[in-house]
Structure formats: C-alpha cells, structure tokens
Amino acid sequence: MQTYAYFPGCSLETSAKEYDTSTRAVFDKLGIGLKEVPDWSCCGSSQAHKVDRDMAAAIAGRNLVLASEIGDIVAPCASCFMSLKEAAVELEHDSEIRDTLKENGLEYLPGSVRVISTVEAAHNALEKGMFEGKITKPLKNLKVASYYGCLLVRPPKIAQFDDVENPMSMDRLMEAAGATPVKWSHKTECCGNAYIMVDKDMTLNLVRNILNAAVSAGADVVAAACPLCHMNLVMRQPYMMQKYGLKSEIPIVYFSQLLGTALNADEQDLDIDGEVMRLINKRRQEANEVKEVG
C-alpha cells in the first residue's frame, strides 16, 4: 500500500479537527496510508520566514528529516504545505542549513522527501483511477465553489502544482465526487489570513468579496483546503451581512469532508455540519426527482 508521511500541523489539532479526521477518513477509503510524522514540530508558519529565512528552513527541515523515514510528506494545511515545500527548496541549495541540521543529529539528503498538499495527493489518486467504484454516495446536484486560496498553488516555482491563475484540481475532485463545480472568479483571491488580527476592516472586505463571488456564481457551498481560509470565511458571516454588504450566508466546508461524504466515510470522522448535510441530501433528492420526471 502507498503510504505518505502525514503532517497534520497545529491547526488540525485545534480549530480544524474535522479537517484532520475527514482527511484521514478519505485516504483510508482510497487505500492510501497516512503515517503521522513521529514527534513533528511547528512548521514555522507564518512568522518564522519573516524573522530569519535560514531559521525557517531549519525549523521546517527538522520535520522533513523525520518524514524521510516514511516517504513523501503530505500536509493538509496550505500554510504548512508551503513552509515545508519552501524549506525543501532551500535545503536543496543551501548546504549550510543542512550542516546546521546535521550538527543536531538530523541528516537531510536533498531530494529525499517530496512535499505535496492533500489536494495534490487526492488529485494524483484521481488521475491513477483510485476513485473508480468508490464514489457510492455521489453529491448529486450540489454546486461547489472550490476555493484554493493563495498558498496551495502559489508561488508557482515552489508549489509546482496546477495552473497558478486558474487551478482546476479541486474542481475535478468535486466533479469526481458527483458534485457540480461552479465557474467562479475568486478561487485564488487572498482571504486576509492572519491580518484579521491586525486590520479587521481590510480582511472582512476581502472575505466579503470572496463569499459574494461564490454566492453570485450560484454555489451551495464553498470547499476550502486550508484551516486559516476556512476560519476567515466561516466566522462573522452574520456580522458581514449587517456591516459589509455580504449578500447571504454560505456554508464553508473542507474539500475532504465533501469527498468523504461521497466516499461514504464514517459520519463521525467527517463531522459535517447538520445543516450542510441536509442541503446535500436536498440536492440529491432534487436530482432524483428530475431524473424521475425526465
């Protein structure tokens, strides 16, 4: 069985537990092993590289060395993914940081670990045909706006995944899950990230634009692949309707929760909001009715 080293990161232990459990459930259903990186530590996001790039590479590099025992490393959090991948690129070229790690008993062999996001890992599985026959509960009629955010495909020289301006991998995954991906304008726009702490006004304006674009495109839900994006998009929707001109509330779910639903994974692991589940079922029903009428 193919096994990845799995790097959950701090968010998935706290604010985004459902992203963690649903990701594990999806890969379990696909027959892909996820083995948690033993004794993993902070990836350094999103501050370390602002303080000292070498330090950031060393902090993330520790995790790469630990992962190399298992294999290629997957990170569900877009921010972890980018920290680890940037470190892998730095370590490739910078022997000084490698020496620093070595002095601390961590030998890194350049090229020994490939860093990918869970979206990329799932998309690879899709391309290999590993979804075939496994979508037993398709998300019929559900209109999904796939939201990639900034770090999943950017910067392109580091991310090396999908079209940087018009990524389609998550859309294809949603299509494979039986849902209808909507064409929309804001799939890679910035959600404001940690700026919510610094400049609430700016961040909420950005979030409002993203959500309004999804609503205008006719989406039922927004699929996210980053705990930070998810948090920014989910919180304060009612407040934004009052003060920031948000057109209507829209549910935000992790792409893994939707995939897991279609793969008929354990409901407890997926931990989908009851209201979203009712919406999914409603759309399925509508699809069946149309079929019967047709």
Partner 1 sequence: MSRVGVFICHCGANIAGKVDVAKVSDDAINIPGVVYSSHQKYSCSEAGQKVIIDAIKENHIDKVVIGSCSPKMHENTFRKTIEQAGLNPYMLEIANLREHVSWVTADKDSATRKAFDLVKAAVGKVSFAKPLTPGQVTVEKRALVIGGGIAGIQAALDIANMGYEVVMVEKEPSIGGRMAQLDKTFPTLDCSACILSPRMVDVAQHPNIRLLTYSEVENVNGYVGNFNVTIRKKAKFVDESICTGCLECVTKCPLKKKIPNEFENGKAPRGAIYVPFAQAVPKVPVIDKEHCQWLLSPDPDTIEVAEGEKKPKRKCGVCQKKCEQGAINFEMEDELINEKFGAIVLATGFNLFDQKKYGEYGAGEIPDVITGLDFERMVNSSGPTEGKIVRPSNGEKPKKVAFIQCVGSRDEAKGVPYCSRICCMYTAKQAILVREKLPDAEVYVFYMDIRAAGKGYEEFVLRAQREYGANYVRGRVSRIYEQDGHLVLKAADTILGMPLEMEADMVILATGSIAREDSVALANTIGITTDAYGFISEVHPKLKPVEVPREGVFACGAALSPRDIPDTVATAGAVAAKVGVLFSNDILMSDPMVANIDPMICVACGACVEVCPYSAITMEEFRGKKFAKVNEAMCQGCGTCSAACRPGAAQLRGQTDEQILKSIEAVLQW
Out of 216, 244, 284, 287, which residue is the one contacting partner 1 (CB under 8 A)? 216
Q: Which one of the spans 33-41, 54-62, 182-190, 198-206 is the region binding partner 1 (CB under 8 A)?
A: 182-190
Order of strands, edge to edge, in the sheet holding 73-75? Answer: 33-36, 3-6, 73-75, 115-117
Task: By CB under 8 A, tell whether 281 contacts partner 1.
Answer: no
Task: By CB under 8 A, tell whether 201 contacts partner 1.
Answer: no
Strands (E) across 164-209 are located at 180-181
Tell me the closest approach of the beta carbon of residue 221 to partner 1, in angstroms. Answer: 20
Tell me the closest approach of the beta carbon of residue 165 to partner 1, in angstroms. Answer: 3
Task: Please give the C-alpha separations between residue 132 and each of 31, 32, 90, 136, 161, in angstroms, as whole numbers.
Answer: 12, 14, 38, 10, 23
Out of 35, 93, 128, 183, which residue is the one contacting partner 1 (CB under 8 A)? 183
Q: In the structure encoding, which two tokens stand for residue 85, read together?
A: 């991948």
Nearer to partner 1, 135 or 168 (CB): 168
Residues 6 or more apart whose Cβ sits within 8 Å of residue 92: 110, 111
54 burial via Cβ count (<10 Å: 0-12, 13-18, 19+): middle
Q: Which one of the spans 82-90, 99-107, 161-169, 229-237 is the region binding partner 1 (CB under 8 A)?
A: 161-169
Task: By CB under 8 A, tell whether 69 contacts partner 1.
Answer: no
Task: By CB under 8 A, tell whether 31 contacts partner 1.
Answer: no
Do 121 and 74 contact (CB within 8 A), yes or no? Answer: yes
Task: By CB under 8 A, tell whether 186 contacts partner 1.
Answer: yes
**Residues in binding contact with partner 1, number by CB under 8 A:** 11
The Cα 215–Cα 126 span in angstroms is: 28
Would you give the DSSP letter of residue 106?
-
Out of 92, 99, 163, 249, which residue is the one contacting partner 1 (CB under 8 A)? 163
User: Which positions touch partner 1 (CB under 8 A)?
Assistant: 156, 163-167, 183, 185-186, 213, 216
